[in-house]
Each structure stands twice: as C-alpha cells, then as structure tokens.
C-alpha cells in the first residue's frame, strides 16, 4: 500500500478526526497509487494517522476511510459502514416512518463521497469522489443488503465530480427500472419524485422539517415561495391554511411537476395557488414596483457558492435576494431564508441577512434558526457537513 506522508505540522486536523487531507498538506507519496486507491497517511515523523482514498487531481488530495489502525478497506468495510448508517436512522423515532430518507450522508457517516437517498423501495446513489467511484459495486451491494430495496438508480452527475477528474455516470444499477415518476408521502402531503431527471437525487429531503414548519405558520398568510422547485414548501403552506401562495421558479418542468404534485393532493385548495415561471430576482423587483406585499416569504435559492473561493460573489447574490425579500415583507411578516452553499458559513450568512435588512430599511430579529433534517447529520469534527443553514426572521 502506498504511503502519503504529510509536511511537518499538517497532521493536526487528522488528530482531531477531520477527514480531509488537502494537497498543500502533502509532503510526498511513497509508492504508486491510482485515483481512488487506498493509501496510508503518515505524519512527517512516520506516525500512522489514517487510511484514506487517494485523489491526485483534487485539491482534497485524500479522504479518510478509517482512523482505526489495521482496519481493512474492502467489501466488508462498506457493508459494515452502510449498515451502521442505516441503523442510526432506524434508532431515531422521527425518521422511522419516513418514505423519503437520506440513508448515507457522506463524511458525516464515515463514507466520504457517498450519498444514498431512499424513496420508498427505490434508492438513489450519488458518488462524488475518486474513492467512492472505485468501490461502486461494493457500495451497491451494501445498500441492497442493508435496505432490501427493489432498485437502485445512480445519479453521479454532480459538477463536483469534475474536480476529482471523474466523468458523469447515471443509470439503473440494481433491479428493474421505474417507468414513471414515483410518489412518496411527506408530512401528510403526496409528492412526486423524478429520480432520473430531477435535481440532485430527485428531491430535497434536507428541507423536510422546514417544510412542516411552514405548514404551522402559514395560516391566513399571503405566501411567496421563491425558487420553489416542485412545490414542497408551497403545498405545505396550502395545507396549513395559507390565504394565497405564489410560487416562482425559472424551470418550466419543475413547475409542471409542482402543479402535478398539487393535483396529487385534491384536498388542498388549488384555487389559492399561483405558479409563475420567472427569474426570482427580476420578479421580486417587479413586485416591489407594483406595491405588492406578503406575510410569509420563503427564499431557498440554489447553491451560489460551491466553495469558499466563490463566497464574495455568492454573498452579493444572497444580500440582493434577501434585500428584495425584506422590501416585500409586510409588517410583522416572516422571512424564511436559506443558504445551501458550503462556502457560506452560519455566521457569514447571518451577517449577510442583517446587511440586507439594513439596506431595506427594516428592523428584524431572528425567531428561529433552521437546519437540515435529522437524516442529514453533521460530524462533530467535520463542520463543513453543515451546508444548509437558515433563519426565520420577523420584520417590523
């Protein structure tokens, strides 16, 4: 096995169990290692630190599989780790009855580069690292054994694969393919999930609890849901008794699915729903000129900052959309605003929202901090795993 030997002092993050080794921390590679191969990571004094997957084309030069001396990285390793991840979810009462569930959450489950989401008896797999790519079949086998799922579809088409030197990979890798969009219940609402052509793995499971929160605060309110995708927040607002819900997305197909999702729930008041295909930034400016106002505004934009290098540009976009939101918010209205950008931390996001309120001339205060659901855990030694951060803010 090849050895990745670090520069002096660069072992400190690993001693604290952080799972990444950046290229700038590497002194030399002893032996030969191809992308995805397992290497031993040593300090400059040759102390053993970890066993990791090597990725020569990435700034994250290696991702740790194990901090346990002597642990073998083989098929049995992935079977064991995947079973442990599934068992963690089964031990949490609030997750046991969920038809849509994240089963494996990458580094936070000790499986860097591996995402697995379950929708009923279908699992969607996403592999984003060279190490995960190398062990694809072992991962598929581990998921089948741990879940008994009928089928697995791979959606390894994320842009981050290019940073690992990997091409996109999609397709069915276990069981009989689905012929149509599948449907799952979530918090009493039926939602269609396109695992083949939808965003990410087909749905945003991380917002499950926040969607339920919308249903609890929407009664009697006029609601604006920006970047609505397939209408998860919108349908929960209707279920919660919203007076009117205006949903905006730039994707026509996403809005078509949102309308179809509304039709799946005939008990909801469809006459109170309005769908608009538009750029949210432009639409909100037009609403401002028209003098419109809303009692509850939801801002859940796409990832503006995939890494810290994009943070400045992303901060401007988050400031602008939140400023527009504050300007459209009625007195004592609620703004639920989110960032899923890993390059924007919790403190920075709060500063951005505070600056947006100031620029909009609004006094506002945080009512609740919002985060991902419990099936998206954050490893204590891996703060980067807390990618979704949100605030519920009330403005005077």
Catalytic residue set: 340
Distance from C-alpha of 280 to C-alpha of 176, rounded to nearest angstrom: 39
Cα–Cα distance list, 125 to 139, 142, 161, 196, 247 (Å): 9, 12, 14, 11, 29
CB atoms within 10 A of CB 140: 20
Quick one: tokens of 345?
Answer: 């931390």
Pairing mode of beta strands 3-6, 38-42:
parallel
List the one residue out of 113, 170, 173 whose CA is nearest residue 143. 173
Cα 383 to Cα 19, 116, 131: the distances in Å are 11, 20, 21
- What Cα–Cα distance (Å) separates residue 169 from each residue in 80, 93, 165? 25, 35, 13
Q: Are 392 and 367 in contact (CB under 8 A)?
A: yes
**DSSP character for 196?**
T
CA atoms of 98 and 168, how far apart (whole Å): 29
Q: Are 273 and 234 in contact (CB under 8 A)?
A: yes
The CB-side HSE value for 360 (13 A sphere, CA atoms) comes to 26
Q: Distances in Å between the alpha carbon of 60 and those of 25, 55, 194, 342, 350?
A: 10, 7, 31, 15, 28
Backbone angles phi, psi at 211, to 5 degrees: -65, -40
d(Cα 382, Cα 375) in Å, to the nearest integer?
Answer: 16
For residue 337 the two structure tokens come to: 């605003």
């Amino acid at each position: 096995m090849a050895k990745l030997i670090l520069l002096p002092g660069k072992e400190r993050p690993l001693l604290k169990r952080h799972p990444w080794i950046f290229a700038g921390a590497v002194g030399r590679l002893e032996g030969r290692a191809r992308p995805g191969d397992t290497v031993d990571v040593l300090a400059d004094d040759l102390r053993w630190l970890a066993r990791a997957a090597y990725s020569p084309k990435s700034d994250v030069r290696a991702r740790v599989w194990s901090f346990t001396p002597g642990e073998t990285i083989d098929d049995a390793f992935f079977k064991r780790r995947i079973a442990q991840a599934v068992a963690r979810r089964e031990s949490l009462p609030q997750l046991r009855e969920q038809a849509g569930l994240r089963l494996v959450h990458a580094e936070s489950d000790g499986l860097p580069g591996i995402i697995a989401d379950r929708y009923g008896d279908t699992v969607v797999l996403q592999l984003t690292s060279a190490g995960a790519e190398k062990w694809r079949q072992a991962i598929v086998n581990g998921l089948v054994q741990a879940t008994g799922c009928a089928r697995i579809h791979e959606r390894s088409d994320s842009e981050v694969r290019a940073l690992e030197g990997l091409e996109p990979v999609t397709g069915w890798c276990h069981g009989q393919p689905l012929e149509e969009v599948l449907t799952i219940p979530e918090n009493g609402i039926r939602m269609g999930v396109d695992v083949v052509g939808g965003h990410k793995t087909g749905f945003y499971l991380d917002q499950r609890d926040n969607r339920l929160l919308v249903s609890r605060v929407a009664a009697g309110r006029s609601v604006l849901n920006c970047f609505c995708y397939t209408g998860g927040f919108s349908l929960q607002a209707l279920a919660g008794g919203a007076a009117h819900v205006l949903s905006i997305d730039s994707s026509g197909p996403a809005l078509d699915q949102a309308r179809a999702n509304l039709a799946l729930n005939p008990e909801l008041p469809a006459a109170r729903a309005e769908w608009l295909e538009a750029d949210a930034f432009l639409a909100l400016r037009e609403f401002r000129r028209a003098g419109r106002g809303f009692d509850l505004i939801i801002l859940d934009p796409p990832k503006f900052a995939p890494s810290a290098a994009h943070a400045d540009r992303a901060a401007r976009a988050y400031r602008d959309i939140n400023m527009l939101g504050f300007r459209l918010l009625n007195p004592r209205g609620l703004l639920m605003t989110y960032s899923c950008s890993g390059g924007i931390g919790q403190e920075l996001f709060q500063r951005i929202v505070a600056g947006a309120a100031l620029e909009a001339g609004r006094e506002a205060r945080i009512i609740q901090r919002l985060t991902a659901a419990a099936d998206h855990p954050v490893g204590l030694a891996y703060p980067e795993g807390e990618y979704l951060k949100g605030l519920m803010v009330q403005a005077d």
